[in-house]
Structure 1
Amino acid sequence: MGQRHQAFLIVRLTPTSSEGQQPRSYYRCVSALHHQSCYGHLPVAATRRFLNLLKNPENAAIVRDEIHRAHGRYGRQGDEPDVPESAFPYTKFLLVQAFNMDIDNPFGAYASGVGFEDSFLNPNIGWFGYDNHNGVTVIDISDPLNPAYCHSKGRGRVLDADEYIGEYRQVFIGDTVLEVVQGYIASLKDERVITADVLSQVWPQSFYPHYPHPKEEPASTTQPAEECSTTTIPPLADIALKQVIEHCISNDTFEPLETLADMPGKIESISVALFSQGPLPDSAGIIMDRVLQYELQNNGGLVDLSSARCTFTANVIRTVVTRLPSDAVKAIDLTGSQTITIEVIIDILTIFPSLIRLTLLDTNVTDEQVVDLLYTWPKLFYHIQDFIHPTLLVHRPPPSAALPDDDDRHNRMYPSRLSCFVPALPKLKALPDDPEELHALHQQVFSGPESFTVMFTGGNLPTSGLGPAVASIPFFYPEKVLRGLIKCLDRPRWLSLSQRLSSHGLQFLQRSPKIRRIDCVGLHRSIGNVPIGGTYDRFLAHGWLFVLDYSSRKDKAWYGFIRIDEEARRASLLDAVEAARRAQKEKKEDTMISGDKEKDNKQTKYELESAVERRLAALALDAMKVYDIRGFADAVEKEGRPRPSEDVMAAFEEIIGGNKYPIPEQTSPPYPFRVMELGEAQVLFRVLIGEVNLFHADRM
């Protein structure tokens, strides 16, 4: 059953090169999404939402990075190597957000579909190679800022939005619905429509012989930009300036350029000419200071040190950045740099307390280095809102849902390097006796990023067997997550669909740092990192947990910000583990006295790990604290994070109190949420770590 629809992303890529052939790019499919119920105007509306997300300049930069890294890695459509299911993870996240969620629907926001993990198909199959009732959507993302789209209801038929919806007009009842549908059509009127000859390059079997086979003709009908451009003669002033810069570089001194920069109107020309000269020596630091400070005043606080402008050494980057005014820098772009050191990143995150965004796409900074920073330097991330690196742009499965290592699909979707955040207990042969070893155990189990986790329960979830909705981000900016929660809690229907929200990564945790109005729509939001469908911090070692129970029962509508008191936990750790060790030793002695055979090593090891896990959970329960919004603000400020603004806290209180919900006719008013009691929070924490299931927790 269903109204099935598929959406395909195509992109022009250079395939793996063959000897004797001139490299050229060809279209191929890189992602295929399946939706069980998407028909009528819904595919058109989803296309509009995806194009909005894609054309956000900050999102487009990340998509371009994924495209850049895909060149030369895969074969043409139908040829090996195939595109794996794990490719283009960030772009796929945008696609599933657009097709499965509508956060600004005029009839009420909704979430649909089956979530990220189960939405995608093999991109190497034909475009009508799957069960389909309502056609397909194809989107060309080769240029994220200038994409193209089309719909189709059958092989070889290419439709724009108006033509596709034309086949459903009879099902649209009511002037309001028709007006909304016409609005979607109009919004796509100026977008490029993919032509059949482009589709024939991807799926020739569906178009040949109506269109020539792509292997018989050039892959792209678009003339490269460099071929279209006309030769222009630069002004004499630019030629002279270029010669001055070349002289400065060859003599390793930039004093003549610094003198020139003092002249009115020259600094902008110097900025363009300087960065066009290729790698700059360390001696260029002073003139770069002048140029970057001039740019800061004219571009909203962005420091562009990407390789697209010039190649900078690590020493130049570190020297120049440290001399910029700390309160003026809002974003730093290091895209493409291959000379970045961890010391540079630490300096940047330390010096600029107002930094909103640090971009590290296509750099030499590894996944392991980013993870190590989050684990060992968590306080560096207290003031930043977006840390853009590929390792934080992958939707990972929850640790509790991880499949066995021999599961082929799991290995394809989640390569081992993507599981570096998943917490795991140490492999224990025996409980440590030495206090220092116990302390090391504590550090190993409780180390991790200072994450923010959201857990939704309630509605029909206890009887569904699906468990609570849980999602987590590895670091957080308090005001940003509160704005996201406000956006969510302002939509009552979202709460009744909270399990769906979990499947989509609780994207409301991600809000554009440029959005300041609380009621701003999310159609054009910037998504800086991708939440996981689980928790980074199973035992709440360092992070925060926001729990909301949305229920039709008045006494069960509660919420709370939960934090483990680290000092209290640390003080009782040694006593708790030592007591358990003594109990285990006594049990072993009783076994020897009774003459029973000792259990095999595997079972003993399992019992040891289970015993440690139970103690860690009990330890967290004993040290747990529950805060309301004001208490949360006080606590994060005490930790050293920026305190949320009064406007945001007041808006949260208004919504959580049930005073801002629109109440449709014949609809009961929502219950206000109260702050949960400690005992209630402890029960839900036991659900989070898997000690009890939600069905039983609802009856405790």
Structure 2
Amino acid sequence: MGQRHQAFVIARIIPHGATQPRYRCVAAYHHQWCYGVLPLYAARRFLTLAQQKDNAEIIREELHSLSGKYGTFGNEPAIPDTPCPFLASVLGMSWDIDLDSGYSSGGTITNSLLPAGMCSWDGDNNDGISIIDVTDLENPAYCFATEAEPLTATEYLSGYYSIPGELNNGNIDVDEDNVEPRSDENDKKVRAAIGILDGVRLIDLSALHEAWPTEYRPVNTESTAPAEPSDAGNPPVTIPSLVNFSLPQAILQTIEGGDTTIIEQLLWLPGKRKDVRDVLQAQKPYPDEGLPLLAKTLKELSDTPLSVDLSGFDLADAQVIALAQGLEGVEALNLSRIARITIDGVREVLTLLSSGLKRIVLMNCESIADEDIWELLRTKPSLFYKLEALMHPALLQITQNPSRTPAITFLTLPNDSYRGVSLPIFTPAGVIQGLTDFIASMVLINPWQFDATGGAIITAACTASPRKPGQSWNERNIVTAPSLSFDTLSNDIGGWIFIVRCAAFPFGGPNGWALLRFPPRPSKAKRISEGKPQKKLSESKGSSGEAGEVEGASGNTENRDLAENDSSDKETDPGDSNETVTHSGLNFELHDIRSFLTITTQEGRPAVPEEAVLCLEELLRRLEDNPTRSPPGKRLMCPKFTRDQVEKCLLDMQSQAWQY
């Protein structure tokens, strides 16, 4: 039975040089050990995750950015391998991981992505494909295929199971000699799997032919077109209502006159709020006199008073800042497709809304370059301490070891190589949630399976914002694309690294975890220019050879106080007693969960509910009595690493960093 399956996401975008949209593949993924009911569950996870409001917001923006840039299939300009990295991340995480049920399969997301420009039947595939249409995320479509025809979920499963009679209706031929024998258990499995895609429409063959014209036959549109009625000579004429006809003129007149009371009253009428927004959005450039009406419209249009969507308005920095002054208490702000907003305007907005803003979206903003975002992160990190999500294309790149400075990196050692993810920003609650999900997965998932997929699990667990009470794993909001950087080992800004090893057979070393802080420090060039001495290795070590260890309430008090009073914006003097160079050549502090929270909350980051902290601490204290691990016996499933063990990890990390 085949076990290699491929998943494709298609959407209608306008090709380069065209005016009408055509279907195009925008994400492709290779999945091992996936057959039978598994692709159905993966498709359902993807749809659930992609349809979350915050995730859908970014997917739409990525699709918008493609229009007019790339040719149809096989034509120039060629589409990039990963034109929609956020969408590709959602696809990969959905296909590989489900921590609600303890499912994990496949390798890392980075290594499993396929080129979006490939044929749908290229690559190593012996188990068919899944295709999902996300043109309209509120009404998506799907199909499966084992040859060049779209299949329903039932038709696809008929290649593996005998379909129960009430689901078959005699329409599906099943080769009883090549499927699993009929049983109550198999019938239950088939019914459950088919049911999870109820209500999702099927992709038709014409869409597949548009996306891959060389692989799927064209549909004879003439034979399928509805016949014209005999009295078509007098087609009905739709007369627009007087209100719709005069609304744009009325809005412009009221803006010019300064009294928008009448238009504000229209906002209470069903369907009129969107009409008013569309007229206001069409004003280019947007007039200053219309800002009060825009503020009122946005308030009425918002699903929640905590979220404001300014995307697509032609606003200048000063206008966005003026609107932000009236948005106190807003938690989410979308500034996408505002061509004139600059990084200076964004900095002012973040300053004004620093008390409550958790999410800011800056997709398709022409005047904000990637380096603008990274420079602001480096020079003003405190602006981002309360943000759970900073959504800009610069932070949605699926790369290995980019030359960027992460705020925190999560690493796992499934064997002798590091896998994981780096985040440009973080909140303590997000870190605690991610680590809790990851550590809990060690219990849910078979240890040998965890060995092979731990890197994918930690990536999926630690790239989401904190979930609300009652929100499932597959309803989480993803805040970045997978990107792993070792830059914290060598930069002068500092950062955090979480390391964990939980292997079925830890031949590369013992299992355990460590939370490291690399304090900010001036560059070597700056030290020399200021005449400060460079410490030699032998002079830097203390009598015990330790490097500023901080063990929370039970650790070294002097060093802990130094770390807790330090700010990421404050430079650490190389003569401080807290700085010690070790045999890895790195200056770091060893922390526990409590000291991590103490430092980060003193920086100004939001506090974490005590029950969440206790839950993670309980998982880290969990005893393991699985006799299959070597050596057997009851012990801590994941004990804390000693300093010597951390040193070995750091040396290994330094050597691996050169490989990327």
What is the TM-score with the length of structure 1 in the denominator? 0.72
1:157 matched to 2:108: no
Structure 1 residue 81 and structure 2 residue 77: aligned? yes
Question: Which residue in 2 is equivalent to 1:302?
Answer: 307
**What is residue 344 of structure 1 aligned with on the other side?**
345
2:120 paired residue among 127, 147, 157: 127
Identify which range, 378-387 or 616-625, moves more after superposition.
Answer: 616-625
Report the counterpart of residue 649 of structure 2 in structure 1. Answer: 684
- Following superposition of structure 1 onto structure 2, how do residues 468-507 of structure 1 map, counting pairs within 5 Å? 468-492=418-442, 493=445, 497=450, 500-503=453-456, 506-507=459-460
How many Å apart are 1:175 and its aligned residue? 5.3
Pairing 1:456–2:412 present:
yes
User: How far apart, CA to CA, are the structure 2 residues paired with 1:644 and 1:230?
Assistant: 61
Alpha carbons 1:564, 1:620 under 8 Å: kept: no
Kept in 2, the 8 Å contact 1:89–1:395? The answer is yes
Q: 1:474 to 1:536 in 2, by over 3 A?
A: farther
Please list, as runs of the form range in 1=range in 2, the aligned pairs for 1:368-407 lying within 5 A after superposition.
Answer: 368-397=371-400, 399=401
Cα distance, 1:476 vs structure 2: 0.7
- Given that 1:625 and 1:678 are in contact with CA atoms closer than 8 Å, whether structure 2 keeps it comes out as no
Closer, same or farther: CA 570–217 of 1 in aligned 2, 3 Å = farther
- Aligned twin of 2:559: none
When structure 1 is superposed on structure 2, of 166-175 and 142-151 the one drifting more is 166-175
User: Which one of the candidate residues 33, 43, 47 is aligned to 1:37?
Assistant: 33
Conservation of the 8 A alpha-carbon contact between 1:261 and 1:267: no
Q: What is the distance in 2 between the residues matched to 1:23 and 1:266?
A: 34
Residue-pair matches, total:
576
- Is 1:559 equivalent to 2:507 in the alignment? no
**Are 1:3 and 2:8 an aligned pair?**
no
Deviation (angstroms), 1:44: 1.7
The answer to whether the aligner puts 1:317 opposite 2:320 as a matched pair is: yes
The residue aligned with 1:415 is: none
Shift in Å, 1:569:
9.8
2:498 is matched with 546
Which residue does 1:658 correspond to in 2? Answer: 622
CA contact (8 A) 2:494 2:521 kept: no
1:67 aligns with 2:63: yes
* 1:137-148 correspondence to structure 2 within 5 Å: 137-148=130-141
SS of 1:149's equivalent in the other structure is: strand
1:185-334 to 2 correspondence within 5 Å?
185-208=194-217, 211-212=219-220, 231=238, 233-234=240-241, 245-250=251-256, 253-254=257-258, 256-257=259-260, 273=276, 276-277=279-280, 278-279=282-283, 280-292=286-298, 299-307=304-312, 310-325=313-328, 328-334=329-335
Which deviates more, 558-567 or 267-276?
Answer: 267-276
Query: CA shift at 1:74, angstroms?
Result: 2.0
Conservation of the 8 A alpha-carbon contact between 2:350 and 2:383:
yes
How far the C-alpha of 1:632 sits from its partner, in A, is 1.0
Tell me the amino acid that sits aligned with residue 609 of structure 2. Answer: S
- 1:170-224: per-residue Cα shift (whole Å, max 9, x none)? 438975665344322101121111122322233344444x734x9x9999xxxxx
Could you say what secondary structure the match of 1:560 adopts? strand
Aligned residue type for 1:67: L
Check whether the contact 1:282–1:315 (CA below 8 A) recurs between aligned residues: no
Q: CA deviation at 1:83?
A: 1.8
How far apart are 1:685 and its partner, in Å? 2.1
- For residue 14 of structure 1, what is the aligned residue in structure 2? 14
Task: Sort the Cα spacing of 1:235 and 1:482 in 2 relative to 1 into closer, same or farther, 3 A.
Answer: farther
User: Aligned partners of 1:312, 1:396: CA distance in 2, in Å?
Assistant: 33
Report the CA distance between 1:361 and its aligned residue. Answer: 1.3
Deviations 1:420-450 (A, max 9, x none): 52xxxxxxxxxxxxxxxxxxxxxxxxxx45x
Letter of the aligned partner of 2:412 in structure 1? F
**More helix as a share of residues:** 1
Cα gap change, 1:192/1:573 in structure 2, threshold over 3 Å: closer, same or farther? same
- Which residue, out of 109, 116, 127, partners 1:116? 109
Q: Percent identity?
A: 26
TM superposition shift of 1:265? 6.0
**Displacement after TM superposition at 1:508 (Å):** 0.8
| Aligned-CA RMSD value | 4.1
Distance 1:260 1:389, change over 3 A: closer
Identify the residue that residue 624 of structure 1 maps to in structure 2: 588
Determine if contact 2:488/2:518 at 8 Å carries over to the other structure. no
Q: Which runs of 5+ in 1 are unaligned?
A: 220-227, 400-418, 422-447, 581-614, 695-700
Task: Output one character per residue of 1:385-408: Cα deviation in whole Å (capped at 9) or x when no partner.
Answer: 0111111112111x3xxxxxxxxx
Q: TM-score, normalised by structure 2?
A: 0.76
Counterpart for residue 528 of structure 1? 479
CA distance in 1, matches of 2:188, 2:628: 22
In structure 2, the CA distance between the partners of 1:507 and 1:231, relative to structure 1 (3 Å rule), is farther
Q: What are the superposed Cα offsets for residues 255-286 of structure 1, whole Å, 9 maximum, x if unpaired?
A: x2259869996999789636623333223334
Deviates more, 1:664-673 or 1:33-42: 664-673
Q: 1:331 to 1:31 in 2, by over 3 A?
A: closer
Q: Note if contact 1:473-1:530 (Cα within 8 Å) is conserved in structure 2.
A: no
- Inter-CA distance 23–217: structure 2 relative to 1 (3 Å threshold): farther
Give distance in 2, aligned partners of 1:641 and 1:96: 30
What is the Cα deviation at residue 300 of structure 1? 3.8
CA distances 1:581-606 after superposition (whole Å, capped 9, x unpaired): xxxxxxxxxxxxxxxxxxxxxxxxxx
Maintained 8 Å contact 2:411/2:500: yes
Deviation at residue 162 of structure 1 after TM alignment: 1.1
Which of 160, 163, 175 aligns to 1:168? It is 160
Paired residue for 2:598, among 595, 616, 634?
634
Quickly say closer, same or farther: Cα 1:99–1:679, change in 2 above 3 A. same
Equivalent residue for 1:354? 356
User: Which of 34, 45, 49 is matched with 1:49 structurally?
Assistant: 45
* Counterpart contact for 1:139–1:147, Cα < 8 Å: yes
CA contact (8 A) 2:486 2:657 kept: no
- Cα deviation per residue 1:104-138 (whole Å; 9 max; x = unaligned)? 22xx332x223233323344443323343211222
Q: CA deviation at 1:76?
A: 1.9
Match of 2:560 in 1: none
Q: 1:78 to 1:483 in 2, by over 3 A?
A: same
Residue type at the aligned position of 1:74? Y
Report the CA distance shift for 1:539/1:205 in structure 2 as closer, same or farther (over 3 A).
Answer: closer
Deviation of 1:563 after TM superposition, in Å, equals 0.7
CA shift, 1:333, in A, is 0.9
Q: In 1, distance between residues paired with 2:616 and 2:73?
A: 50
Answer whether contact 1:158 1:196 (CA < 8 A) is retained: yes
| Secondary structure of 1:675's aligned partner | coil
1:6 is paired with a residue whose SS is strand
Give 1:428's aligned residue. none
SS of the equivalent of 1:171 reads coil
Q: CA deviation at 1:53?
A: 1.9
Contact 2:395–2:481 (CA<8 Å) still a contact in 1?
A: yes
Question: In the aligned structure 1, how far is the partner of 2:223 from the partner of 2:371?
Answer: 44
Deviation at 1:656, TM superposition (A): 1.1
Give the superposition deviation at 1:233.
Answer: 4.3
Q: How much has 1:634 moved relative to structure 2?
A: 0.6
